[in-house]
Structure 1
Amino acid sequence: MDDAEADLSTTAPRSFDRSNAAQARLHELVPGGAHTYARGSDQYPEHMTPIIERGVGSRVRDVDGNWYVEYGQALRAITLGYADPGVVAAVTRAAQQGVGFARPSITEVEAAEAFLAHVPGADMVKFAKNGSDATTAAIKLARAATGRDLVAVCGTQPFFSVDDWFITTTSMGAGIPAPVHDQTLKFRYNDLDSVRTLLEQHPGRVAAVILEAATATAEPEPGFLEGLRELADRDGFVLVFDEMITGMRWSAGGAQEVYGVVPDLSTWGKGLANGFSIAALAGRRELMELGGLNTDASRVWLLSTTHGGETTGLAAMLAVYDAYAQRDVVGVMETQGEKLREGLRKAAADHGLSDHIPILGRPSCMVFGTKDHEGKPSQPFRTLFIQEMLKRGVLGPSLVVSAAHGDAEVAHTVEAAHGAMAVYARAVSAGSTDGLLVGRPVAPSVREFAAPRRLEVGS
């Protein structure tokens, strides 16, 4: 038996001693104790913060030797499963031949051709290493092309960039000059009137409208995306689809392929290379060439990065496209996600928790809700559920699957959920998590101030 099939018992006690020590050391070395806020220790039960040393397929092992079925899949970046053999082989070959040169590599040609063959309506692409660079480049292009200064973001969607133009809209605005705040506007998803209102309030000033065409919990209503396309054509703003999550998870062509609406620009990352670092900005030639050599207009400094053409990430993307050509990866994720949804909904019903733990979203990108005894969203109850699932061998801040989540993993997850929901039901009956939840509850990852009780270094 492969060690990835090692003990996932729902009853075996789990030690977190080494993980907790490593997490404490991270807090001494790294602000927030992680390089992504969503991976922070404040997102997990206190003293139950697995530090991962290995991942294979849909399972991960922490430094204490505990194996878990893992959901979330590297913040939705993994669609084939961890350490996919085809991707690993392609990356190894690329690394052996050199990862970056003083001139472009032939891999950059192959990668650009492959990407554009999959993305409808995109004439050109530029690669980078993280999604924020791609979205910020899209905003810069839109402003240069239109001569306008304002940006409209979907305010009912959580995240678009670490850069000032977006972060100024969140509660973490420290360090951002006040005038920047006035340049970003918000509209509501599936609400064309909210976009029309912005255009009327700021005539001739909106350079870009940026949104996710769909999210884990919200699909576009009939006519919404089409209406945005019509407004863009009429008003002259640049329509940008953020495909960071939907790309490779909705389809290889992203949400724009699924819903049949082509934006002016689109931004990509996460699933493109099954966890390897690659992002992309793609779009219409006349816009993209503003950052090129074939323009008479003032040129845009557009994604000039040392590692944008790094060959291992591009080779990983090409291997992902090969895998999608060989089998229906999205279809597998949707099938397994639906099996998981059915199992978890039945478990919730068995414990009288259907209204307390809703299972939401597209099968390839699901999340769970956690509501208290009054039916209100609750961080303590969320923490309790994560805690009890961790005890039973499931690491799940979400229910996002990969194509490596087989029937055995789904069955184990449902079994673990039965045990976790039995504890959850006791908390609902008592009207509190007191006596069941160990430590403080999790907190929103984007918030102005630190948790009420500061994490002590070394604790």
Structure 2
Amino acid sequence: MEHEPGRRDFTRSNELQARLHDLVPGGAHTYARGADQYPEQMAPILVRGSGCRVWDADGNWYVEYGMGLRSVTLGHGYRPVLDAVAGAIADGVSFSRPIELEVRAAEDFLNLVPGADMVKFAKNGSDATTAAVRLARAATGRTAVAVCDQPFFSVDDWFIGGTEMNSGIPAETAAGTVRFRYNDLPSLTAVLNSGAIAAVVMEAATALHEPEPGYLHGVRALCDRYGALLVFDEMITGFRWSAGGAQAVYGIRPDLSCWGKAMGNGFPISALAGRRELMELGGLRTDRDRVFLLSTTHGPEAGALAAFRAVARAYTTTDPVARMEHAGELLAAGVNAIAADLGIAEYLQVMGRPSCLIFVTRGPDGAPSQAFRTLFLQELLERGVLGQSFVTSAAHTDADIEHTVAACREAAAVYAKAIDQGTVEGLLVGRPVAPAIRRHAAPRRLGV
């Protein structure tokens, strides 16, 4: 029987979402979590999770992908992490002096990331990346920053000034950050030729782009030649490519690296790590002008440090990356086979590293389409699959993948119908999703 949208009840979620819009700008505390990233009136408000499954305020359950914006690799409610956190916070959470956990967590981190000599913990990824930029500027005496043409590095002005959502950021601040292209050494050389670049900030790899042979070694050599610091953003690659991040996979030692997301399996913790001679500029063993590196009230909070130690233990005693990759391989093969069977493989594709999959949705003209993406999201939601991507966790079992592939089979049939008729009209309920970072609230502006 042909699927009719609207079978699931989202009444309570919609009521809560409306209340959030009254209380919180944008209706969410993270733009990527916004209701404008989901089909209209189908943005679940979640109440709990277990493993890779989540439940919303209306009692609907879903197999979740993306897993807390890639921050949960071991699964929701992973007992060893919860037990470690509960044990730690029972003795207090925040103190006026360092606690022993800070020593042990730093040792654990540096054992996982042998290319780093020192580490400093914080709470958000942007804390770490902005500290890296500040440190690079101080170490080099330069001010400009070169960032790779990759999606996101920081909520702070030095990066957001170069995005579409740059209202309130001085033009001179934005002008201090320049772009270069990935897998393109001449592009980076042209930027470094100015002699003004303090730091080269990049992800060593992304879901869709692996470094070409020799590329990262070439980047390292160019940074050394021109006196810029190489900063790896390991927010996504850390604990998803390997416990030691992309730098361990590709054998490149950056000057500084920035970590977060999966470090705490969802608990808030991030880190700046790097070479001792650089990191010491923020310490008490330097005769140079000191760098205000990182100084956060909640960076050394006991619960998050305990969570990180439990995550580190899981990565040294088990193999979460292999389980994520196994689930991703099954999922990609299953969905892509369905698309091929329906004759829509050129329009609907699952792509990327198995532990960090995305789905690509194209319209009849072959161009990426927000409308067709929204239709696919809508059909998946109706069938118990939640996610803006197909990013897996170690908690995704073969049964969860089978459920997802079955849901994709029905969703893809609706997608094929839309391709055949050349439009989502009559199939998509409401307006399409829109980019999370955009200049105007339109095309998903809410009425006053």
TM-score band, normalised by shorter chain: over 0.9
> Are the counterparts in 1 of residues 5 and 429 from structure 2 also a CA contact under 8 Å?
no
> Are the counterparts in 2 of residues 57 and 84 from structure 1 also a CA contact under 8 Å?
yes
Residue by residue over 1:394-419, the C-alpha shift from the partner in whole angstroms, topping out at 9 and shown as x without a partner, is 00210000000001100000000011
Residues 276-425 of structure 1 aligned to structure 2 (within 5 Å) = 276-425=267-416
Residue by residue over 1:277-303, the C-alpha shift from the partner in whole angstroms, topping out at 9 and shown as x without a partner, is 000000000100110011000001111
Taking the aligned partners of 1:444 and 1:277, their CA distance within structure 2 comes to: 25
| Alignment partner of 1:181 is 2:154 | no
Using the TM superposition, give the Cα deviation of residue 375 of structure 1 relative to its aligned residue in structure 2, in angstroms: 1.1
> Are the counterparts in 2 of residues 37 and 445 from structure 1 also a CA contact under 8 Å?
yes
Aligned-pair RMSD on alpha carbons? 1.3
Residue by residue over 1:390-446, the C-alpha shift from the partner in whole angstroms, topping out at 9 and shown as x without a partner, is 000000210000000001100000000011011101100000000000000000011
Taking the aligned partners of 1:352 and 1:454, their CA distance within structure 2 comes to: 35
Corresponding residue for residue 6 of structure 1: none
> Are the counterparts in 1 of residues 118 and 273 from structure 2 also a CA contact under 8 Å?
yes
| Alignment partner of 1:20 is 2:14 | yes
Taking the aligned partners of 1:438 and 1:386, their CA distance within structure 2 comes to: 11
| Alignment partner of 1:35 is 2:38 | no
Instruction: Give the letter aligned to residue 15 of structure 1.
Output: D
Residue by residue over 1:253-277, the C-alpha shift from the partner in whole angstroms, topping out at 9 and shown as x without a partner, is 0000000001000000001110000
Residue by residue over 1:337-361, the C-alpha shift from the partner in whole angstroms, topping out at 9 and shown as x without a partner, is 1011111111111221111111111
Using the TM superposition, give the Cα deviation of residue 454 of structure 1 relative to its aligned residue in structure 2, in angstroms: 2.2
Taking the aligned partners of 1:12 and 1:132, their CA distance within structure 2 comes to: 39
Taking the aligned partners of 1:193 and 1:97, their CA distance within structure 2 comes to: 55
Corresponding residue for residue 74 of structure 1: 68
Instruction: Give the letter aligned to residue 146 of structure 2.
Output: A
Partner SS for 1:364: coil
Using the TM superposition, give the Cα deviation of residue 11 of structure 1 relative to its aligned residue in structure 2, in angstroms: 11
Taking the aligned partners of 2:410 and 2:5, their CA distance within structure 1 comes to: 10
Taking the aligned partners of 1:217 and 1:453, their CA distance within structure 2 comes to: 28
Q: TM-score, normalised by structure 1?
A: 0.96
Q: Matched residue pairs, number?
A: 446
| Alignment partner of 1:275 is 2:269 | no
| Alignment partner of 1:83 is 2:77 | yes
> Are the counterparts in 1 of residues 204 and 233 from structure 2 also a CA contact under 8 Å?
yes
Instruction: Return structure 1 stretches of 4+ with deviation > 3 angstroms.
Output: 10-13
> Are the counterparts in 2 of residues 120 and 262 from structure 1 also a CA contact under 8 Å?
no
| Alignment partner of 1:133 is 2:127 | yes
Taking the aligned partners of 1:420 and 1:189, their CA distance within structure 2 comes to: 34
Instruction: Give the letter aligned to residue 56 of structure 2.
Output: D
Q: Which runs of 5+ in 2 are unaligned?
A: none
Taking the aligned partners of 2:63 and 2:16, their CA distance within structure 1 comes to: 21
Using the TM superposition, give the Cα deviation of residue 232 of structure 1 relative to its aligned residue in structure 2, in angstroms: 1.4
Corresponding residue for residue 148 of structure 1: 142
Partner SS for 1:401: coil
Q: TM-score, normalised by structure 2?
A: 0.98
Taking the aligned partners of 1:418 and 1:428, their CA distance within structure 2 comes to: 15
Task: Give the alignment partner of residue 61 of structure 1, picking from 55, 59, 69.
Answer: 55
Corresponding residue for residue 3 of structure 1: none
Using the TM superposition, give the Cα deviation of residue 456 of structure 1 relative to its aligned residue in structure 2, in angstroms: 2.9
Corresponding residue for residue 45 of structure 2: 51
Corresponding residue for residue 190 of structure 2: 197
Residue by residue over 1:169-207, the C-alpha shift from the partner in whole angstroms, topping out at 9 and shown as x without a partner, is 10111001111121111000000100101122x1x2110
Residue by residue over 1:361-407, the C-alpha shift from the partner in whole angstroms, topping out at 9 and shown as x without a partner, is 10000000000111111000000000000000000210000000001
Percent same amino acid at aligned positions?
A: 63
Q: Which runs of 5+ in 1 are unaligned?
A: 1-9
Taking the aligned partners of 2:428 and 2:6, their CA distance within structure 1 comes to: 19
Instruction: Give the letter aligned to residue 22 of structure 2.
Output: E
Instruction: Give the letter aligned to residue 181 of structure 2.
Output: R
Corresponding residue for residue 430 of structure 2: 439
Using the TM superposition, give the Cα deviation of residue 453 of structure 1 relative to its aligned residue in structure 2, in angstroms: 5.1
> Are the counterparts in 2 of residues 58 and 402 from structure 1 also a CA contact under 8 Å?
yes
Instruction: Give the letter aligned to residue 295 of structure 2.
Output: S
| Alignment partner of 1:109 is 2:137 | no
Partner SS for 2:273: strand
Instruction: Give the letter aligned to residue 54 of structure 2.
Output: V
Taking the aligned partners of 2:367 and 2:219, their CA distance within structure 1 comes to: 33
Corresponding residue for residue 208 of structure 1: 199
